[in-house]
């Protein structure tokens, strides 16, 4: 039953959400890599989650069931609210907040999460630009779908630590005005410098579809 949930269950479901939101699919190998857990252990745990009726295993993918999606949305929301708390109240650096709240967020479920959300002033997004209203319509696009030009930096969908550090090194944060140039690499330039992104990193980064000045 779902109410037999452990902290590990939340971690697994959050990682699944991250991959499916960012890359449209997730495998047991992806989960193993992200959580730094041995593949056989992941397989065993995913089977348990499948027995709960939250996921469905395939040959190469793991998919949410409708019940699993409904159950996971509050977990993602709480994670994003906890990130705001970590940055604003605990003064955790922008690039560190995702990792910092992986344990802390479990304290803020249910009514506690709602109270925290209220006291933080009802933030619309987490520090990385991802909406706290988790299922709201996205008005950003990943770099693969955009042409060269000037945009507003939207969000980092998959909160990869190395990518967050790279962005923070030139102060490219949600709301920053950036210029996108696509040649052999994906180059994003802002007032403090320029970074190059790989194809995989480009999928993780979303810019506003509306160009600056339009």
Identify the architecture of domain 2-64 in CATH. Answer: Orthogonal Bundle (1.10)
**In whole numbers, what is the pLDDT of the chain averaged over residues?**
88
Q: Token pair of 170, please? A: 């030139």
Determine the 3-state secondary structure of 212 from DSSP: coil
Q: Tell me which DSSP letter residue 138 carries.
A: P
For the stretch 105-117, pLDDT in tens is: 667 777 777 888 8
With both helix axes pointing from N to C terminus, report the angle between 161-169 and 97-104 in degrees, rounded to the nearest 10.
Answer: 140
Between CA 62 and CA 48 the distance in angstroms is 13
pLDDT of residue 58: 86
Between CA 108 and CA 185 the distance in angstroms is 40
Scanning the structure block, which residue is given the tokens 């089977």? 47
pLDDT at 186 over 80: yes
From the list 31, 21, 125, the residue with the least C-alpha distance to 83 is: 125
Q: Tell me which DSSP letter residue 137 carries.
A: P
pLDDT at 6 over 50: no
Contact criterion met (CB below 8 Å) for 153 and 191: no
For the stretch 19-50, pLDDT in tens is: 999 999 999 999 999 988 899 999 999 999 99
For the stretch 118-165, pLDDT in tens is: 989 999 999 999 999 988 888 899 888 899 999 999 999 999 999 999
Indicate if the alpha-carbon torsion angle 8, 17, 70, 100 is positive or negative.
positive
CATH classification code of 140-208? 2.30.30.90
Write out the DSSP string of 87-123.
Answer: HHTS---GGGHHHHHHHHGGGG-THHHHHHHHHTT--
User: What is the percent of the chain where pLDDT is above 70?
Assistant: 92
The residue ranges of every structural domain in the chain are 2-64, 140-208
Helices in 7-152 by DSSP H: which ranges? 7-23, 28-35, 39-51, 66-88, 97-104, 111-119
């Amino acid at each position: 039953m779902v109410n037999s949930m452990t902290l590990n269950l939340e971690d697994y479901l959050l990682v699944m959400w991250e991959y499916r939101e960012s890359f449209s699919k997730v495998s047991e190998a992806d989960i193993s890599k992200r959580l730094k857990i041995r593949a056989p252990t992941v397989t065993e745990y995913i089977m348990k989650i499948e027995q709960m009726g939250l996921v469905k295993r395939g040959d190469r993918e793991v998919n949410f069931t409708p019940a699993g999606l409904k159950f996971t949305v509050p977990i993602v929301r709480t994670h994003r609210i906890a990130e705001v708390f970590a940055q604003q109240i605990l003064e955790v650096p922008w690039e560190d907040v995702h990792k910092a709240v992986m344990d802390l967020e479990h304290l803020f479920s249910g009514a506690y999460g709602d109270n925290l959300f209220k006291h933080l002033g009802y933030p619309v997004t987490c520090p990385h630009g991802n909406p706290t209203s988790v299922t709201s319509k996205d008005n950003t696009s990943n770099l693969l779908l955009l042409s060269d030009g000037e945009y507003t930096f939207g969000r980092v969908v998959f909160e990869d630590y190395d990518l967050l550090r790279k962005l923070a090194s030139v102060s490219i944060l949600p709301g920053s005005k950036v210029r996108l140039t696509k040649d052999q690499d994906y180059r994003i330039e802002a007032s403090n410098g320029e970074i190059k992104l790989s194809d995989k990193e480009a999928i993780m980064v979303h810019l506003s579809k509306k160009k600056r000045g339009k």
